[in-house]
Amino acid sequence: MALNLIVLGPPGAGKGTQAERLARLRGIPKISTGDILREAVQAGTETGRQAKAIMSRGELVSDDVMIRMVQERLDRADALPGFVLDGFPRTVAQAAALDGIMRERDPLLVVDIEVPEAELVRRLSTRLVCGDCGANAAGGDTVCGRCKGQLVQRPDDSDGVVRERLTVYRRQSAPLVAYYRVRPTFRSINGAQPVDGVFDDLAAAVDALVAGIATPGARP
């Protein structure tokens, strides 16, 4: 059975790190919206060219273009044994479209990483990124582990901006989490613990979901 997983969570929950770690453990690709956009643009696909034109005008890529790019990416051979999606879907409309894409495939599993707002603000307002390549710094780093560039605070990681980003996230994500929460293929885990503890809970949640897929009604 293919492991088709969506990892949800607010900014600062560490979902990208956890998604990448689980994907590496299971030998399946971790797919983020940023990865999809870059690859589609670089490959010069029709959808990629449309996305490039939209972004060059300073506009956001629309749902229909993003959905087409996701479908193209999930149709690639390396994603057939499974995948971990990070950053998609972001809206109920995208989630419904993803259900359509997955109709003839194994069920989607969804894990939401929950972290209290105060902890998210603390994490994000103290987060450092590389000023050259943009990579997030690991705890204790003094230079970028990827390119040795200087670490800086992102302009949008100031306390006030962080709180506004979280408010927007909660408003936009609440319907999405509600969309998935009623399914037997959904779990939430505690993200307010050390990284290894979060990963252990994520892996355990995935194992429990896989074990329960044979239960009637597991497929969305």
Per-residue model confidence as pLDDT tens for the chain (220 residues): 899 999 999 988 999 999 999 999 999 999 998 888 888 888 888 888 888 888 788 777 888 888 988 998 999 999 999 999 998 998 899 999 999 999 999 999 999 999 998 999 888 887 788 888 877 776 667 788 889 898 887 665 667 778 888 888 888 788 999 999 999 999 999 999 999 999 999 999 999 999 988 555 544 4
Q: What are phi and psi of 151, to 5 degrees?
A: -90, 135
Q: Per the structure block, which two tokens stand in for 184? A: 């037997």
Query: Is the Cβ–Cβ distance between 111 and 8 less than 8 Å?
Result: yes
Q: What is the CATH number of the domain that holds 184?
A: 3.40.50.300
- Residue from 26, 52, 127, 163 carrying the catalytic annotation: 127
Structural domain including 23 reads: 3-28+81-116+167-212
Q: Which of 189, 31, 36 is nearest to 110 (CA)?
A: 189
Query: Does residue 98 lie in a domain region?
Result: yes
154 is catalytic: yes
Q: Which of 93, 61, 73, 92 is nearest to 4 (CA)?
A: 73
68 is catalytic: no
Query: Does residue 92 lie in a domain region?
Result: yes
146 is catalytic: no
Query: Does residue 173 lie in a domain region?
Result: yes
Query: Does residue 44 lie in a domain region?
Result: no
Query: Does residue 53 lie in a domain region?
Result: no
Query: Does residue 54 lie in a domain region?
Result: no
105 is catalytic: no
90 is catalytic: yes
Angstrom distances, CA of residue 57 to CA of 19, 54, 62: 31, 5, 13
Q: Which of 73, 77, 98, 84 is nearest to 18 (CA)?
A: 84
- Residue from 52, 105, 154, 163 carrying the catalytic annotation: 154
Number of domains the chain contains? 1
